[in-house]
Amino acid sequence: MKTISILLFSLLTGNLLFAQHTKIVTAGSIEYEKSVNTYAINREIIAGYPPQMQTMISRSFDDYQRRMPQFAKLNSKLIFNSNKTLFTPIEANSGHPVSYLQATTACNQINTVYTDLATGTRVVQKQVFENQYLLTDSLSKIKWRLVDETQDIAGYTCRRANGVIQDSVYVVAFFTDKIWVSGGPESFSGLPGMILKLALPHEHITWTATKVTEEAPAVAIEPPKKGKPTTNAQLKTLLNSRGKGTMVLYEKKLFLL
Protein backbone atom coordinates (compact mmCIF):
# COMPACT_ATOMS: atom_id res chain seq x y z
CA MET A 1 0.00 0.00 0.00
CA LYS A 2 2.89 2.33 0.89
CA THR A 3 4.50 1.67 -2.53
CA ILE A 4 1.23 2.45 -4.34
CA SER A 5 0.89 5.71 -2.39
CA ILE A 6 4.42 6.75 -3.37
CA LEU A 7 3.73 5.95 -7.02
CA LEU A 8 0.48 7.93 -7.00
CA PHE A 9 2.21 10.89 -5.34
CA SER A 10 5.00 10.78 -7.94
CA LEU A 11 2.53 10.67 -10.82
CA LEU A 12 0.47 13.55 -9.45
CA THR A 13 3.57 15.65 -8.75
CA GLY A 14 4.92 14.93 -12.24
CA ASN A 15 1.62 15.94 -13.83
CA LEU A 16 1.55 19.20 -11.86
CA LEU A 17 5.11 20.04 -12.87
CA PHE A 18 4.35 19.18 -16.48
CA ALA A 19 1.30 21.45 -16.43
CA GLN A 20 3.29 24.25 -14.82
CA HIS A 21 5.93 24.23 -17.52
CA THR A 22 3.69 23.76 -20.53
CA LYS A 23 1.27 26.64 -20.02
CA ILE A 24 1.85 29.75 -22.11
CA VAL A 25 3.65 32.46 -20.13
CA THR A 26 3.52 36.15 -21.13
CA ALA A 27 4.90 37.88 -18.03
CA GLY A 28 7.44 37.05 -15.36
CA SER A 29 11.12 37.18 -14.48
CA ILE A 30 14.22 35.11 -15.29
CA GLU A 31 17.49 34.86 -13.38
CA TYR A 32 20.57 34.20 -15.52
CA GLU A 33 24.11 33.15 -14.70
CA LYS A 34 26.84 34.46 -16.99
CA SER A 35 29.87 32.17 -17.26
CA VAL A 36 33.16 33.46 -18.71
CA ASN A 37 36.11 31.20 -19.52
CA THR A 38 38.92 33.51 -18.41
CA TYR A 39 41.65 30.99 -19.21
CA ALA A 40 40.62 30.78 -22.87
CA ILE A 41 40.22 34.55 -23.23
CA ASN A 42 43.64 35.27 -21.78
CA ARG A 43 45.36 32.64 -23.95
CA GLU A 44 43.97 34.40 -27.03
CA ILE A 45 45.08 37.81 -25.77
CA ILE A 46 48.58 36.55 -24.95
CA ALA A 47 48.87 34.98 -28.42
CA GLY A 48 48.47 38.45 -29.94
CA TYR A 49 51.59 39.82 -28.25
CA PRO A 50 55.15 39.62 -29.71
CA PRO A 51 56.92 36.28 -28.99
CA GLN A 52 59.28 37.67 -26.35
CA MET A 53 56.42 39.28 -24.44
CA GLN A 54 54.37 36.08 -24.74
CA THR A 55 57.08 34.12 -22.93
CA MET A 56 57.28 36.65 -20.10
CA ILE A 57 53.50 36.94 -19.63
CA SER A 58 52.90 33.19 -19.92
CA ARG A 59 54.99 32.48 -16.80
CA SER A 60 52.85 34.83 -14.76
CA PHE A 61 49.67 33.46 -16.36
CA ASP A 62 50.61 29.93 -15.29
CA ASP A 63 50.64 31.16 -11.69
CA TYR A 64 47.27 32.83 -12.22
CA GLN A 65 45.76 29.53 -13.39
CA ARG A 66 47.01 27.78 -10.25
CA ARG A 67 45.40 30.38 -7.97
CA MET A 68 42.18 31.40 -9.72
CA PRO A 69 39.11 29.50 -11.00
CA GLN A 70 38.73 29.04 -14.73
CA PHE A 71 35.23 30.51 -14.96
CA ALA A 72 34.05 33.90 -13.76
CA LYS A 73 30.38 33.80 -12.72
CA LEU A 74 28.00 36.77 -12.77
CA ASN A 75 24.25 37.06 -12.16
CA SER A 76 21.54 39.10 -13.82
CA LYS A 77 17.74 39.35 -13.98
CA LEU A 78 15.28 39.86 -16.83
CA ILE A 79 11.73 41.02 -16.15
CA PHE A 80 9.22 40.89 -18.97
CA ASN A 81 5.63 41.25 -20.09
CA SER A 82 4.04 40.58 -23.46
CA ASN A 83 5.88 43.37 -25.29
CA LYS A 84 8.64 44.76 -23.04
CA THR A 85 11.74 43.41 -21.28
CA LEU A 86 14.33 44.86 -18.91
CA PHE A 87 17.68 43.12 -18.39
CA THR A 88 19.55 44.23 -15.26
CA PRO A 89 22.97 43.02 -14.05
CA ILE A 90 23.32 42.02 -10.41
CA GLU A 91 26.48 43.33 -8.79
CA ALA A 92 29.16 40.68 -8.35
CA ASN A 93 30.21 39.60 -4.87
CA SER A 94 33.53 40.80 -3.54
CA GLY A 95 36.33 38.43 -4.48
CA HIS A 96 34.80 37.84 -7.90
CA PRO A 97 37.59 36.58 -10.20
CA VAL A 98 38.64 38.92 -12.99
CA SER A 99 40.57 38.24 -16.14
CA TYR A 100 44.33 38.09 -15.69
CA LEU A 101 44.90 40.71 -18.40
CA GLN A 102 41.86 42.75 -17.39
CA ALA A 103 39.49 41.77 -20.22
CA THR A 104 36.96 43.78 -18.28
CA THR A 105 34.09 43.74 -20.76
CA ALA A 106 33.89 39.95 -20.74
CA CYS A 107 34.34 39.58 -16.98
CA ASN A 108 31.89 42.29 -16.00
CA GLN A 109 28.36 43.26 -16.98
CA ILE A 110 28.32 46.71 -18.54
CA ASN A 111 24.77 46.85 -19.95
CA THR A 112 21.28 47.47 -18.61
CA VAL A 113 19.00 46.77 -21.56
CA TYR A 114 15.37 47.82 -22.10
CA THR A 115 13.57 46.47 -25.17
CA ASP A 116 10.22 47.48 -26.62
CA LEU A 117 9.22 44.54 -28.81
CA ALA A 118 6.14 46.34 -30.14
CA THR A 119 8.17 49.16 -31.66
CA GLY A 120 11.37 47.18 -32.30
CA THR A 121 13.53 49.57 -30.27
CA ARG A 122 15.90 49.30 -27.31
CA VAL A 123 17.59 51.58 -24.81
CA VAL A 124 20.99 50.42 -23.49
CA GLN A 125 22.61 51.98 -20.46
CA LYS A 126 26.25 51.15 -21.13
CA GLN A 127 29.34 51.60 -18.99
CA VAL A 128 32.18 52.41 -21.41
CA PHE A 129 35.52 52.75 -19.63
CA GLU A 130 34.98 55.48 -16.99
CA ASN A 131 31.67 56.86 -18.27
CA GLN A 132 28.03 55.84 -18.58
CA TYR A 133 26.12 56.26 -21.83
CA LEU A 134 22.55 55.85 -23.07
CA LEU A 135 22.27 54.26 -26.49
CA THR A 136 18.84 54.28 -28.19
CA ASP A 137 18.43 52.35 -31.42
CA SER A 138 16.59 49.50 -33.10
CA LEU A 139 16.79 45.90 -31.89
CA SER A 140 19.89 43.95 -32.89
CA LYS A 141 19.50 42.21 -36.23
CA ILE A 142 20.43 38.55 -35.83
CA LYS A 143 20.22 36.02 -38.66
CA TRP A 144 18.73 32.98 -36.90
CA ARG A 145 18.50 29.41 -38.19
CA LEU A 146 16.51 26.81 -36.22
CA VAL A 147 18.27 23.52 -35.47
CA ASP A 148 16.75 20.14 -34.59
CA GLU A 149 18.28 19.94 -31.10
CA THR A 150 16.80 20.52 -27.64
CA GLN A 151 17.97 21.08 -24.07
CA ASP A 152 16.10 21.20 -20.77
CA ILE A 153 16.83 24.53 -19.09
CA ALA A 154 15.24 25.79 -15.85
CA GLY A 155 12.39 23.30 -16.28
CA TYR A 156 11.64 24.14 -19.93
CA THR A 157 12.36 22.15 -23.05
CA CYS A 158 14.24 24.56 -25.32
CA ARG A 159 15.02 24.36 -29.01
CA ARG A 160 18.36 25.39 -30.47
CA ALA A 161 18.91 28.21 -32.94
CA ASN A 162 22.21 29.29 -34.51
CA GLY A 163 22.74 32.93 -35.35
CA VAL A 164 25.18 35.54 -36.61
CA ILE A 165 25.40 39.13 -35.37
CA GLN A 166 27.64 41.96 -36.64
CA ASP A 167 28.27 39.76 -39.72
CA SER A 168 30.87 37.67 -37.89
CA VAL A 169 29.93 36.92 -34.26
CA TYR A 170 28.55 33.36 -34.00
CA VAL A 171 25.68 32.88 -31.53
CA VAL A 172 24.01 29.72 -30.17
CA ALA A 173 20.66 30.10 -28.42
CA PHE A 174 18.16 27.76 -26.78
CA PHE A 175 14.64 29.19 -26.54
CA THR A 176 11.26 28.05 -25.27
CA ASP A 177 7.98 28.74 -27.05
CA LYS A 178 6.18 28.30 -23.72
CA ILE A 179 7.27 31.83 -22.80
CA TRP A 180 5.55 33.76 -25.53
CA VAL A 181 7.93 36.72 -25.55
CA SER A 182 10.71 37.21 -28.12
CA GLY A 183 13.38 38.27 -25.62
CA GLY A 184 16.56 37.10 -23.95
CA PRO A 185 19.64 38.17 -22.00
CA GLU A 186 21.44 41.40 -22.87
CA SER A 187 20.27 42.62 -26.32
CA PHE A 188 19.58 39.20 -27.83
CA SER A 189 16.08 38.56 -29.20
CA GLY A 190 14.26 37.72 -32.42
CA LEU A 191 13.24 34.09 -31.84
CA PRO A 192 9.68 32.70 -31.49
CA GLY A 193 9.98 32.50 -27.71
CA MET A 194 12.22 33.43 -24.79
CA ILE A 195 15.95 32.65 -24.90
CA LEU A 196 16.92 30.73 -21.75
CA LYS A 197 20.48 29.94 -22.79
CA LEU A 198 22.78 31.89 -25.06
CA ALA A 199 26.42 31.26 -25.92
CA LEU A 200 29.08 33.20 -27.80
CA PRO A 201 31.41 30.21 -28.37
CA HIS A 202 34.31 32.13 -29.90
CA GLU A 203 34.12 34.75 -27.13
CA HIS A 204 33.92 32.02 -24.43
CA ILE A 205 30.79 33.47 -22.79
CA THR A 206 27.49 31.77 -21.89
CA TRP A 207 24.29 33.01 -20.22
CA THR A 208 22.06 30.30 -18.70
CA ALA A 209 18.69 30.73 -16.99
CA THR A 210 18.74 29.32 -13.45
CA LYS A 211 15.23 30.29 -12.36
CA VAL A 212 12.00 31.35 -14.08
CA THR A 213 9.16 33.00 -12.15
CA GLU A 214 5.83 32.92 -13.96
CA GLU A 215 4.33 35.99 -12.30
CA ALA A 216 3.91 39.52 -13.64
CA PRO A 217 6.68 41.88 -12.44
CA ALA A 218 5.79 43.95 -9.38
CA VAL A 219 7.52 47.01 -10.89
CA ALA A 220 6.95 48.91 -14.10
CA ILE A 221 9.18 47.97 -17.04
CA GLU A 222 10.77 51.27 -18.03
CA PRO A 223 13.96 52.28 -19.87
CA PRO A 224 17.02 53.44 -17.89
CA LYS A 225 17.46 57.21 -17.83
CA LYS A 226 20.94 57.87 -16.40
CA GLY A 227 23.80 58.39 -18.85
CA LYS A 228 25.05 60.57 -21.69
CA PRO A 229 23.00 60.09 -24.89
CA THR A 230 25.09 58.58 -27.69
CA THR A 231 24.84 56.76 -31.03
CA ASN A 232 26.51 53.65 -32.41
CA ALA A 233 28.69 55.82 -34.65
CA GLN A 234 29.87 57.96 -31.70
CA LEU A 235 30.56 54.85 -29.64
CA LYS A 236 32.66 53.31 -32.43
CA THR A 237 34.68 56.53 -32.67
CA LEU A 238 35.33 56.41 -28.94
CA LEU A 239 36.44 52.78 -29.08
CA ASN A 240 38.69 53.41 -32.09
CA SER A 241 40.52 56.04 -30.07
CA ARG A 242 41.67 53.36 -27.62
CA GLY A 243 44.07 51.75 -30.12
CA LYS A 244 44.25 48.50 -32.07
CA GLY A 245 45.92 45.98 -29.76
CA THR A 246 44.64 42.41 -29.42
CA MET A 247 42.89 43.08 -26.12
CA VAL A 248 41.33 46.32 -27.37
CA LEU A 249 39.97 44.59 -30.48
CA TYR A 250 38.50 41.85 -28.29
CA GLU A 251 36.90 44.42 -25.97
CA LYS A 252 35.59 46.47 -28.90
CA LYS A 253 33.60 43.58 -30.34
CA LEU A 254 31.91 42.93 -26.98
CA PHE A 255 31.22 46.63 -26.36
CA LEU A 256 29.24 46.83 -29.60
CA LEU A 257 26.97 43.83 -28.99
Cα R_g (the chain), whole angstroms:
21
- Full residue range of the structural domain in which residue 229 is found: 25-255
Q: What share of the chain in percent tops pLDDT 70?
A: 81
Q: Which range, 45-49, 137-141, 179-183, 253-257, is most confident? A: 179-183
In a domain, 187, yes or no: yes
How is the beta sheet containing 84-90 ordered, strand by strand?
A: 143-153, 156-165, 169-176, 194-200, 205-213, 28-37, 71-80, 84-90, 111-116, 121-128, 131-138, 228-230
Q: Is residue 119 part of a domain?
A: yes
Within 10 Å of residue 110's Cβ, how many Cβ atoms?
19
Total number of domains in the chain: 1
Q: CATH number of the domain that 163 lies in?
A: 2.50.20
Q: Answer yes or no: is 34 within a domain.
A: yes
Does a structural domain hold residue 13? no
Residue 11 domain-assigned (yes or no): no
Does residue 66 lie within any of the structural domains? Answer: yes
Reported as a single tens digit per residue, the pLDDT across 80-100 is 999 999 999 997 654 445 555
Rounded to two decimals, the pTM is: 0.85
> Is residue 129 in some structural domain?
yes
| Cα gap 181→165, rounded to integer Å | 20
Residue 103 contacts residue 41 (beta carbons within 8 Å): yes
15 domain residue, yes or no: no
Residue, of 14 and 27, whose pLDDT is higher:
27
Distance CA 118, CA 51 (A): 52
